[in-house]
Chain A
């Protein structure tokens, strides 16, 4: 290492070591951007859809990396800490089945139309399919409005992780965070690095960065899982401690014995006999558990995923994703869920809890890593967490730039057709503007639960899913039916959202079910009823999209 740097950093300071690892990781990502920029052909088609040349492996990595975000790492461990193992069934096993189904039934078909008719965005497809120019003006705010919270999940999760893991690094400069890189600075660094590598390499740069980051976050996640379990006395000892203290966290619902144990241990804690307070028992109702079935349909309408689908070289490039995606999800979530559950009962040498009872849910994993691994390991794991987050942020940033330039600016400035250079410039300017807005919103909402924010974001996208399924598989679906579906999803979703509280620890339910149930049912009903009551699409459109060629 450079002697000047050695003088600047104190290599005995764990926080600083973690910080150095993070900086090295960020530098590597910029390096990937520089390398992929050499493959960049300078055209908008290359920037936004990589000239439709992405093969199976890169496709799998970019789709998986894009789908997994702070929600999967920070959100999963935090939610498992809050309510136990049920989070896996709510999110992963449903998603394993339905994500692959969406890739198979939506992704491949969308790709085939993209390849045939040159679509670079979702809105271009919908405009053609519904013979409507103005549908873009309705979809644009809906899609941007739903991607924004998804970006927020990443910024909040990543910035929280950086702050917690670098605690003690610079106590004089950042006394208010006990020396950790403050939330505002961590978020700023993360967003800037993503912007640099996507500006250099476009969607191809993002795909390569996603591949590296996906391998990294799965690999580091597994290594961290082993390191943490080892420090807790091994897998069995870690789980046994939960059985002894908070057994309801290993089930979906507490038994009478679990409730009695909670009362007994709470009394012992209040009497000063034990130092680790028990956690209140929680329960997932069967209907709530089932109603999460609608959440994974959100991937069918993610604009950033849609864009990755369009980059495929051939339909065969989807095969690996359809098969392996559920397994990679399992490999990513299982360690995080177990660490979150173990955190409910893991104690320090003095008998107090490692993660305090009222700890910020988003900070559970970083606190566990910091307490139970070495600073280098902590830095590496945070790099892994950031990898999951940044591999989504990059695709989201590019897709927003793409839909703005293609669907708004490019579409309405057609008479004065823009050059590729102008298109790229406008796309990049819009991306920067969106990132600044998201960053500022994240600063003001840093305490929002990543899990709750993610669930609402997925609810919105799931509400739009009937639109894509109808557009691809139902000839009779009409333009007015499409408008009805979008507007109904927006109204019903916004009503429920306004009634909920993102900072509340409780789950917001409607008639005992997740709100997504009613959003999806209402938008589907509106689509069907209004389509049947209005004039069918033209023969030319039906021929274009439904006649086998």
Chain B
């Protein structure tokens, strides 16, 4: 599934360079949004879908296990002498 997510990501990046709509405003989507703009709106929606796939199928394995800490925001381990 992760490979499909990466593929989707690269497709979105490629789709962004939509030179085929560069010099036209037609068709007008819903009668008023030029196609070049509508295309990029679809890329925004695609980015949301990519995020959904990532949190569902590529969620980092260890982050949910980080132990709950005290209510005042204290760390679970102290910082080193550099901080």
Which residues does A use to contact B, with CB under 8 Å? 41, 43, 45-46, 49-53, 85-86, 88-89, 92-94, 96-97, 100-101, 104, 108-109, 111-112, 115-119, 124-125, 127-128, 130-133, 235-236, 238-239, 243, 247, 250-255, 286, 289-290, 293, 314-316, 318-319, 322-327, 329-330, 334, 337-338, 411, 544, 548-549
Contact = CB atoms under 8 A, between A and B. Distances in A.
A337 B32 CA distance: 13
B68 to A, nearest CB: 8
Contacts of B31: 235-236, 239
A59 B13 CA distance: 27
B83 A127 contact: yes
Contacts of B52: 323
B30 A132 contact: no
Chain A, interface SS category: helix
Q: Which 4 A-B residue pairings sit nearest by Cβ, starting from the closest?
A: A118-B75, A96-B47, A250-B25, A315-B63
Interface string B35-64: 011001101110110111011000010111
A549 B62 contact: yes
A251 B83 contact: no
Contact of B69 (A115, A326, A548, A549): A115
A85 B79 contact: no
Given A104-B54, A124-B79, A326-B51, A51 B64 contact: no
Contacts of A252: 21-23, 36
B36 A85 contact: yes
B44 A92 contact: yes
Contacts of B44: 92-93, 96, 326-327, 329-330
Nearest to A103: B51
A327 B74 contact: no
6 contacts: A51-B72, A88-B37, A235-B30, A293-B16, A323-B48, A329-B44
A188 B55 CA distance: 42
Contact of A326 (B24, B28, B47): B47
Nearest to A101: B9
A115 B22 contact: no
A130 B18 CA distance: 41
A516 B23 CA distance: 26
Which of A51, A89, A235 gathers most chain B CB within 10 Å? A89
A112 to B, nearest CB: 5
Contacts of B37: 85, 88, 250, 334, 337-338
B36 A93 contact: no
Contacts of B40: 88-89, 92-93
A327 B83 contact: no
A43 B75 contact: no
B36 A89 contact: yes
Contact of B33 (A254, A327, A338): A338
B21 to A, nearest CB: 7
A324 B23 CA distance: 31
B1 interface: no
A378 B43 CA distance: 32
B4 interface: no
A111 B32 CA distance: 43
B66 A104 contact: no
A539 to B, nearest CB: 14
B47 A100 contact: yes
Given A127-B82, A327-B45, A116 B33 contact: no
A334 B82 contact: no
Contacts of B69: 52, 115
A330 B41 contact: yes
A100 B37 CA distance: 21
A128 B73 CA distance: 19
A372 B43 CA distance: 31
A49 B82 contact: no
B71 A97 contact: no
Contacts of B48: 96, 100, 323-327
B79 A117 contact: yes
A112 B59 CA distance: 14
B71 A53 contact: yes
Nearest to B52: A323
Contacts of B50: 97, 100
B24 A251 contact: yes
Contacts of A116: 66, 75-77
A15 to B, nearest CB: 31
A544 B23 CA distance: 53
Contacts of B55: 104, 318-319, 322-323
B45 A255 contact: no
B16 A89 contact: yes
Contacts of B9: 97, 101
B77 A239 contact: no
A94 B60 CA distance: 24
Contact of A118 (B17, B24, B32, B74): B74
Given A89-B40, A117-B78, A235 B32 contact: yes
A472 to B, nearest CB: 12
Contact of B22 (A43, A112, A251, A314): A251
Contacts of B17: 286, 289-290
A115 B76 contact: yes
B66 A93 contact: no
Contacts of A548: 62
A549 B83 CA distance: 21
B9 to A, nearest CB: 7
A124 B82 CA distance: 8
A92 B21 CA distance: 17
